């Protein structure tokens, strides 16, 4: 029986049907179980920073797992501390907490903001403001900060004290942030919402209002972090400094990890406030450190910028493309005729994997190792597909 049939019989029904069974990957290429090759512009949803099958995180993981794979947070281990030091150095922030996913990182950041808020402003200071179009994860707190009734309604009641404001309305944001606000949670570029770039004006207004009211400004860099937008972290492009950032996806190039980085808060977590069994496990931390080394040594951030520019300018010249938005290798293509899902299927049939992030937009988030020939192939294939639909 096929993997798809077997999976359909035993896996829960929370995901839509999956079109392919993938068996192997190398760089930006993946192969399915029928031997077909695809150019992968999904990268495990912006995760596989170094491309598939990169030896660096695999070797680091294997060696550390064979030496000391997991110890829990009852003990120190060198790889987790080294990873915290590296991330603090890269971000200019001062403290790290490790977990296992993006949702968990946001969950921890929300708790950090509430712990801090109560400390500086009393019990009422627990409100969390986020933006319409936001996606922060599927756990209950992260979901409360996420936008979209279809994702949330079946799971009500969600935690109280969350509010979303329109993503381009600076006045609404200012009005929503007040003495009761503990934290403001923003993706600098909204990923799942459609690759929506949040304006510097709004980010600056959030910074000023957080300063005025003693709230923490939290940037969700789960998707934008680790070089994807052409900087280590997207906030470094805007110049607006957050108090906290959350990371996951690209941090260990496919190994499960999440992280929260914060400035040194006198009113941060106390022992016992928060934790997770696997967070910062030596084996995963070693894989993350190896990933960061390759990103730096191979100038993948420069590559993300150069290849992102090439991708965006090429896509803009394709007939049928109404708009291209994003930064670096986090790009959305708005299709003049809509039907992003249909176009994604047609691209797949021609050997290119993308995902339809809205009804009319495709999202392109390839590994950061993508080269010019692969970028040109992606553009040419989209041109062929759109021309055939004319
Ligand atoms: C910006 C952002 N935050 C949080 C998450 C949730 O991450 P995870 O799926 O690892 O829980 C995602 C996932 O797509 C994301 O894009």
pLDDT, tens only, 340-358: 999 999 999 999 999 999 9
Could you confirm whether 111 is annotated as catalytic? no
Instruction: Kindly give the pairing relationship between strand 127-131 and strand 181-186.
Output: parallel
Domain 55-297 has CATH 3.40.640.10: yes
d(CA 377, CA 315): 11
Six-digit token pair at 275?
């934790």
Query: Rounded to whole angstroms, what are the CA distances from 382 to 291, 306, 314?
Result: 31, 20, 10
pLDDT of residue 228: 98
In the chain, what are the domain boundaries?
3-53+299-389, 55-297
Span 176-212, pLDDT tens digits: 999 999 999 999 999 999 999 999 999 999 999 999 9
Q: What angle do CA 86, 90, 94 make, to 5 degrees?
A: 75
Residues forming a β-bridge with 364: 331
Could you confirm whether 151 is annotated as catalytic? no
Catalytic residue among 125, 162, 220, 243: 220
CATH code for the structural domain at 3-53+299-389: 3.90.1150.10
CA of 99 to the centre of ligand 1 (A): 13
pLDDT of residue 16: 94
pLDDT in tens, the chain (390 residues): 999 999 999 999 999 999 999 999 999 999 999 999 999 999 999 999 999 999 999 999 999 999 999 999 999 999 999 999 999 999 999 999 999 999 999 999 999 999 999 999 999 999 999 999 999 999 999 999 999 999 999 999 999 999 999 999 999 999 999 999 999 999 999 999 999 999 999 999 999 999 999 999 999 999 999 999 999 999 999 889 999 999 999 999 999 999 999 999 989 999 999 999 999 999 999 999 999 999 999 999 999 999 999 999 999 999 999 999 999 999 999 999 999 999 999 999 999 999 999 999 999 999 999 999 999 999 999 999 999 997
CA of 387 to the centre of ligand 1 (A): 34
CA of 192 to the centre of ligand 1 (A): 8
pLDDT of residue 189: 98
Could you confirm whether 220 is annotated as catalytic? yes
Which residues form the pocket of ligand 1, taking CB atoms under 6 Å from any ligand atom?
Answer: 45, 101-103, 106, 135-137, 187, 191-192, 220, 222-223, 248
């Amino acid at each position: 029986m096929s993997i798809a049939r077997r999976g359909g019989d035993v896996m829960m029904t929370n995901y839509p049907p999956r079109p392919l069974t993938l068996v192997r990957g190398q760089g930006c290429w993946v192969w399915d179980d029928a031997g077909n090759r695809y150019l992968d512009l999904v990268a495990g949803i912006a995760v596989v920073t170094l491309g598939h099958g990169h030896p660096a995180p695999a070797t680091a993981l294997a060696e550390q797992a064979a030496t000391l794979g997991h110890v829990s947070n009852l003990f120190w281990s060198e790889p987790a501390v080294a990873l915290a030091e590296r991330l603090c150095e890269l971000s200019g922030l001062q403290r790290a907490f490790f977990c296992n996913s993006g949702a968990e990182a946001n969950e921890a950041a929300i708790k950090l903001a509430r712990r801090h808020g109560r400390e500086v402003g009393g019990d009422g200071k627990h409100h969390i403001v986020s933006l319409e179009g936001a996606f922060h994860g599927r756990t209950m707190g992260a979901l409360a900060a996420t936008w979209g009734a279809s994702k949330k309604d079946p799971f009500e009641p969600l935690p109280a004290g969350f509010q979303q404001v329109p993503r381009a309305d600076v006045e609404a944001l200012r009005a929503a942030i007040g003495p009761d606000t503990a934290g403001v949670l923003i993706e600098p570029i909204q990923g799942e919402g459609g690759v929506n770039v949040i304006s510097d004006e709004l980010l600056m207004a959030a910074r000023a209002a957080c300063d005025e009211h003693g709230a923490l400004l939290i940037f969700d860099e789960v998707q934008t972090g680790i070089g994807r937008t052409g900087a280590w972290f997207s906030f470094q492009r805007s110049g607006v400094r957050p108090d906290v950032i959350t990371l996951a996806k690209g941090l260990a190039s496919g190994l499960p990890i999440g992280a929260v980085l914060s400035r040194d808060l006198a009113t941060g977590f106390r022992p016992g406030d928060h934790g997770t069994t696997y967070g910062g496990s030596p084996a995963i931390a070693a894989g993350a450190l190896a990933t960061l080394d390759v990103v730096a040594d191979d100038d993948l951030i420069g590559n993300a910028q150069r290849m992102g520019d090439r991708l965006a300018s090429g896509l803009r010249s394709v007939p049928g493309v109404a708009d291209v938005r994003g930064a670096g290798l986090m790009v959305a293509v708005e299709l003049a005729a809509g039907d992003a899902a249909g176009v994604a299927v047609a691209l797949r049939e021609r050997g290119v994997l993308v995902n339809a992030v809205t009804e009319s937009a495709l999202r392109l988030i390839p590994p950061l190792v993508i080269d010019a020939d692969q970028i040109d192939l992606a553009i040419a294939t989209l041109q062929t597909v759109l021309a055939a639909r004319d």
